[in-house]
Amino acid sequence: MNFDDTPQEAEYRAHARKWVKDNAPDDLMQEFAAAEEIRDRDARTAQIVRVAKIWQKRKADGGWACLSWPREYGGRGATPIQRVIWDQEEGVYGALSGPFAIGQGMCGPTVMAYATEEQKRRYLPPLASGEEVWCQMFSEPAGGSDLAGLRTRAERDGDDWIINGQKIWTTGAHFCDYGILITRSDPNVAKHKGLTMFFLDMKSPGVEVRPIKQASGHSGFNEVYFTNVRIPDSQRLGKVNDGWNVSLTTLMNERFSIGARLATGVPEFFEFASQTKLADGSLAIDDKAVRSKLATWAARSNGLKYTAYRAISALSRGERPGPENSIGKLVAAPMTQDIAMYALDLQGQMGAISRDDATPAGKLYQTLFHAIGMRIAGGTDEVMRNIIAERVLGLPGDIRVDKDVPFNKIPTRGR
Amino acid sequence: MNFDFSDEQKQLRDQTRRFLSETCTTKEVRAVLEGKHKFDRAVWKGLADLGLIGVAIPEEFGGAGAGRLELCIVAEELGRALAPVPYSSTVYLASELLMLAGSDAQKKAWLPRIASGDAIGALALVEGIGDPTPRSIKVSARDGKITGTKTLVPDGEIADFAIVVARGKAGDDERGVGLYIVDLKGAGVSAKAIETVDPTRNHAEMTFNAAAADPLGATGEGWATLTKVLDRAAVLVAFEQIGGADRALEMGRDYALDRMAFGRPIGSFQAIKHMLADMYVAATLARSNAYYGAWALSTDAGELAEAAANARVSATQAYQLCAKNNTQVHGGMGFTWEFDCHLHYRRSNLLALSLGSLTFWENRLIDEMRKRNAA
């Protein structure tokens, strides 16, 4: 039992570390941080995407973009453990590449699995280098956790498909060039059996992107409306009506991200409790109740870190990590919310004051809202528990009353 | 990175599990629970014959000379099987204290007998409500004699010797605290059985009346030695807890698959599925934290105190959650004497207090985090 690299891993790490040191984007980090202060959404987005593209292109030129992808598609054919080592060495600079996370993490693997060779050579390298940005259009007002309940229609028209409908919670749609889109191609069959996946140019006529104002007042997501949008059949991913299986490729990649540092709120709370004085003048961290809660949270946060180490060890041995990685978001997301609320509570009535400064208290206040989204995005807490219960513990699937009902006969109103 | 046990260590796990599944079923656990014996001698003898009691004792003192990682493996299996044997008292505490602070003569006198299964050891520490501190130690050691009462000594009734934490010099701080080996077969020792939440493990109140004592290390160093050994033992108890947590989770899962209600297996209801998923999450976090503790223990890392506290907090919470939810999944049957749920419920609540309460280890974790951050 040790935390040491193998000689090959150490060599790879040294190589990555040197490149990161020689190409450190500290100037870009400053611009990235400054962008957070820009109030206008379009101007803020433009600055974030601009610095992201500079860093991504630099990495691509150095051979460090999407490094686990094959060379012919813009990667370097790296092994999973090499990918982890790179992520560790890129460290905080990895945040710069945020705008590409969904495109490279989810759309890319889907395109790689289902597009033609010609399309892969056309679209994957610029996706890897950040020259083209992709988004993923799955969720709908009527289909979130129940994704297969989606209603956006795709109707065949000669060599094209005509798309009408609405997507929601689309991250980055307002700055993306392309997107993958799951649609209902046959409403007369059971819901999972009538779906088809496409990719499309986000500048196609009839595509309209509108920002969603979130509970926090910010706008990071969008609604995307489709009005008679034409997509050539050549941009279909997978077979007609086989979109559900295609979507599973995409979603598997969403939930499988090893060593990804999930925000837990623990370092911020530790700092907050170490600085904040309670009404009696004592430090919060000397208070019995605070210590007890912090210890529980710290142990859970540490548990996530060491669970990731176990997965990395499996990768290092050339094995597939076990299912224990499915717990990450389910542990981290609700915990950040609990921590944020407790930080408010410790300030008494003053905790109610809205703030978004860089102090620990300011960060924790922001977490209060961020946590709502974290508990839902990429699978709600409840969906994650179902996944663990069914796929890890082998418990039966939920009883699905709409399973064998044609989609257009499924009731749509609760009362 | 190889943050996992080696193939040899995994073989040891399989071997230990096989041995315990044959010799230490819940039938044997219940025999102790119901007072037929004070501990299971056959299992204890078997562990000795397999070399598992002295697994970490150096070969020159009759042990196997393996490392602490092997101890972690054995601990997990003992926890899983609810083994009714004095392993933690003898191995994690008495044996470790002897190895850390004992003279050559003391090691020669006790370690070979421990390894062979002939001597059971105990730690006599607690003198009342609350987690022990130097101030709470009133039992006195004067002129080679121990006098006073230890209110709860795990395995006190069955132990052959005890390491007694006593006050060798006047005062109320740790400078006066020493460790003393007491042969419990000698004069001036009495043990009264105490029934606890988990009667599968022996406990006694012990009174010493000028019992002959052999100092283990210097007076004044006793508390520091004890603290270090408690940190080490905390990692090992955490392994017992994750073994128990895993078993309780399996029992709950299996019952949820078999038990039908409303025309379907109860494991198809989300209320049950989600409860079991939460148990899996807690058990997984606790296992990963215990592994980090194992690393710190095996390398005697500077992080040991923090890693041990972290492992303990996580494992205590996981085992208690798994044991109580397992009982809940079993419904009314979980509340019967006949079903095994209460065995884990009892053990999880006993281990939660073993070596100090959850609050004690939470405080230790925070103190260590602050030290690291200040450094």
Q: What is the DSSP string of A254-316?
A: HH--TT-----SHHHHHHHHHH-B-TTS-BGGGSHHHHHHHHHHHHHHHHHHHHHHHHHHHHH
Task: For tokens 């001698």, name the residue.
Answer: B41
Contact A219, A266 (CB under 8 A): no
SS3 (DSSP) at A400: coil
Residue B132: what are its φ and ψ, rounded to 5°?
Answer: -60, 145
Residues 322-351 of A with CB under 8 A from B: 324, 327, 330-331
Q: Supply A61's token pair.
A: 């030129």
Task: Answer yes or no: do B1 and A390 touch at CB < 8 A.
Answer: no
Residue A266 CB-density burial (10 A; 0-12 exposed, 13-18 middle, 19+ buried) = buried
Contact A329, A379 (CB under 8 A): yes
A345-370 confidence digits (pLDDT tens): 999 999 999 987 889 999 999 999 99
A58-86 confidence digits (pLDDT tens): 999 999 999 999 999 999 999 989 998 99
Contact B283, B250 (CB under 8 A): no
Contact B91, B317 (CB under 8 A): no
Active site residue A390: no
B215-234 confidence digits (pLDDT tens): 999 989 999 999 999 999 99
For the CA atoms of chain A, what is the radius of gyration? 23
**Cβ of B131 under 8 Å from any chain A Cβ?**
no
| pLDDT for the residue numbered A262 | 81
Distance CA A395, CA A137 (A): 30
A210-262 confidence digits (pLDDT tens): 999 888 888 888 999 999 999 999 999 999 999 999 998 877 765 555 556 68
**Cβ of A303 under 8 Å from any chain B Cβ?**
yes
CATH code for the domain defined by B7-115? 1.10.540.10
Of A2-6, A187-191, A260-264, B99-103, the one with minimum mean pLDDT is A260-264
Span between the terminal Cα atoms of chain B, in Å: 26
Q: Residue A337: enclosing H or E segment and its boundaries?
A: helix A328-346
- ipTM for the complex? 0.96
Task: For tokens 């060491």, name the residue.
Answer: A306
Residue type, A290: V
Chain A residues closer than 8 Å to B361 by CB: 295
Percent above pLDDT 90 for chain A: 79
| pLDDT for the residue numbered A260 | 60
Domains of chain A (ranges; CATH) run 7-132 (1.10.540.10), 136-254 (2.40.110.10), 259-378 (1.20.140.10)
Evaluate if residue A324 carries a pLDDT over 80: no
Task: Answer yes or no: do B268 and A385 touch at CB < 8 A.
Answer: no
| pLDDT for the residue numbered A249 | 80
Query: If we measure between CA atoms, which residue out of B3, B215, B73 comes closest to residue A306?
Result: B3
CATH code for the domain defined by B121-220? 2.40.110.10
Residue type, A369: F
Identify from B2, B258, B310 which residue to disrupt to test chain A contact, counting A C-beta atoms within 10 A and taking the largest count: B2
Query: If we measure between CA atoms, which residue out of A238, A223, A232, A250 comes closest to residue A107?
Result: A250
Q: Which long-range contacts (CB under 8 A, 24 or more apart) does A236-240 make?
A: A236/A161, A236/A196, A236/A197, A236/A198, A237/A110, A237/A111, A237/A114, A237/A115, A237/A180, A237/A197, A237/A198, A237/A199, A238/A114, A238/A196, A238/A197, A239/A196, A240/A185, A240/A196
Evaluate if residue A318 carries a pLDDT over 90: no
Say which CATH superfamily domain B223-374 falls into: Butyryl-CoA Dehydrogenase, subunit A, domain 3 (1.20.140.10)
From the list B265, B294, B363, the residue facing A396 with the nearest CB is B265
Distance CA B308, CA B5 (A): 18
| Residues counted in chain A | 415
Distance CA A242, CA A195 (A): 6
Fold agreement (B7-115, B223-374): no
CA A402 to chain CA centroid, Å, is: 29
B124-173 confidence digits (pLDDT tens): 999 999 999 999 999 999 999 999 999 999 999 999 999 999 999 988 89
Percent above pLDDT 70 for chain B: 100
Q: Supply B114's token pair.
A: 């421990």
Residue range B47-69: average pLDDT? 96
Evaluate if residue A115 carries a pLDDT over 60: yes
Higher pLDDT, A415 or B104: B104
Q: Supply A210's token pair.
A: 């509108």
Distance CA B312, CA B361 (A): 7
Task: Answer yes or no: do A299 and B257 touch at CB < 8 A.
Answer: no
**Cβ of B206 under 8 Å from any chain A Cβ?**
no
Distance CA B217, CA B359 (A): 29
Q: Would residue A217 be called left, alpha or beta, if left means φ above 0 and alpha means ψ between -120 and 50 degrees?
A: left
Distance CA B123, CA B106 (A): 16
A132, A254, A271, A324: which is the annotated catalytic residue?
A: A254
SS3 (DSSP) at A137: strand
Residues 36-95 of B with CB under 8 A from A: 69
Distance from CA of A299 to the nearest CA of B (A): 5
Percent above pLDDT 70 for chain A: 98
Contact B298, B236 (CB under 8 A): no
Strands (E), A153-279: 153-157, 160-171, 178-184, 195-201, 207-211, 221-232, 236-237
Distance CA A60, CA A67 (A): 9
Residue type, B83: A
Residue B6: what are its φ and ψ, rounded to 5°?
Answer: -75, 170
Q: Supply A256's token pair.
A: 């499988």
Three-class secondary structure assignment of chain B: CECCCCHHHHHHHHHHHHHHHHHCCHHHHHHHHCCCCCCCHHHHHHHHHCCCCCCCCCHHHCCCCCCHHHHHHHHHHHHHHCCCCCHHHHHHHHHHHHHHHCCHHHHHHHHHHHHCCCCCEEEECECCCCCCCHHHCCCEEECCEEEEEEEEEECCCCCCEEEEEEECCCCCCHHHEEEEEEECCCCCEEEEECCCCCCCCCEEEEEEEEEECEEECCCCCHHHHHHHHHHHHHHHHHHHHHHHHHHHHHHHHHHHHHCEECCEEHHHCHHHHHHHHHHHHHHHHHHHHHHHHHHHHHHCCCCHHHHHHHHHHHHHHHHHHHHHHHHHHCHHHHHCCCCCHHHHHHHHHHHCCCCCCHHHHHHHHHHHHHHHHHC
Residue range A267-287: average pLDDT? 95
Task: Answer yes or no: do B314 and A303 touch at CB < 8 A.
Answer: yes
From the list B5, B284, B295, the residue facing A307 with the nearest CB is B284
Locate the domains of chain B by residue range.
Answer: 7-115, 121-220, 223-374
Residue range A107-126: average pLDDT? 97
Task: Answer yes or no: do B276 and A396 touch at CB < 8 A.
Answer: no
| pLDDT for the residue numbered A142 | 86
Distance from CA of A289 to the nearest CA of B (A): 10
Residue A278: what are its φ and ψ, rounded to 5°?
Answer: -80, 175
